[in-house]
Amino acid sequence: MISKVGVVGGGQMGGGIAEVCAKAGIDVVVHEVTAEFAEAAAGRVGKSLTKAVERGKLSEEDRDATLGRLTFGSDLAAMADRDLVVEAATENEELKKQLFADLDAIVESTDAILASNTSSIPITRISQATSRPASVVGLHFFNPATVMPLVEVVRSVVTSDEVVTRAAAFATDQLGKVVVHAKDRAGFVVNKLLVPYIIDAIVMYEEGFASKEDIDAGMVNGAAHPMGPLTLSDLIGNDTMLFVAESLFEEFREARYAPPPLLRRMVEAGLLGRKAGRGFYDYTK
């Protein structure tokens, strides 16, 4: 049973993971790079919990209890006593490797699990930054983590059976998530299928085959998707989409993963999607 969780990164994903864990009765420490960022992360989680109260999905008592299980700070040394640490930093391989090297030196228990929320980077490459690669696993939550039921458990070629079993049990038994197991290839299960779909939609719009409104409406009303592919790219973050597409293309060298020029232009123009307040519906050709 995991009783102490650390989350490295308090952004949209990290904050959501921390909230889910704290709601499940787990003591959670969230790390951010500065005290100001840590304070902002605490504010976002607090706002999310208050909205849940307002919507009748959480009692005030449970909100307060959840907040009481959350600690936010900027000292990575606070991860020392954690049973499980989930890295939810920016999708940058070198940054993740450095964080895992630091966590390897800080986290005291030899039984602790070091997990990455990466959506595209192979776990084997990340685990090589540590002296305990058998303890490194992928725990890929989906956005928003407070709502989406899925967690991908990704084992590297050296992740131990025990760690995979414990990580899956944590996600299912303690957090109430649905787990799928994936091999350690870029994109895992969901993004290996999802990214080409979004890329095709971007290319379709870029080539003038259909308007962005009709592309999204077509998939919502014709395929029963909760949102269209361009809206989904904005939700994920167009910069994240670009990085994931680049990672998949680098690994598989298949044209279906090649980032479309429009996506690059969007990122260069700062049209990063919901988190930036500007995305595909602000773009004009």
Query: What is the spatial distance between Cα 273 and Cα 237, in angstroms, rounded to a whole number?
Result: 5
Active-site residue identified among 116, 117, 119, 127:
119
Query: What is the spatial distance between Cα 160 and Cα 28, in angstroms, rounded to a whole number?
Result: 24
Query: What is the spatial distance between Cα 15 and Cα 200, in angstroms, rounded to a whole number?
Result: 31
Q: Which DSSP string do the residues of 58-125 spell out, in sequence order? A: S-HHHHHHHHHTEEEES-GGGGTT-SEEEE---S-HHHHHHHHHHHHHH---TT-EEEE--SSS-HHH
Query: First-to-last CA distance in the chain?
Result: 53
**Residues in the chain, overall count:** 285
- Per the annotation, the verdict on 225 as an active-site residue is no
Q: Count CB-CB contacts under 10 A for residue 277.
A: 11
Active-site residue identified among 120, 191, 233, 247:
191
Query: What is the spatial distance between Cα 30 and Cα 18, in angstroms, rounded to a whole number?
Result: 7
Burial class (CB in 10 A: 0-12, 13-18, 19+), 13: buried
- Per the annotation, the verdict on 181 as an active-site residue is no
Residue 29 parent element (H or E): strand 27-31
Active-site residue identified among 19, 32, 87, 152:
152
Beta bridge partners of 182: 154
- Per the annotation, the verdict on 140 as an active-site residue is yes
Active-site residue identified among 127, 135, 140, 246:
140
- Per the annotation, the verdict on 152 as an active-site residue is yes
> Catalytic residue numbers?
119, 140, 152, 191
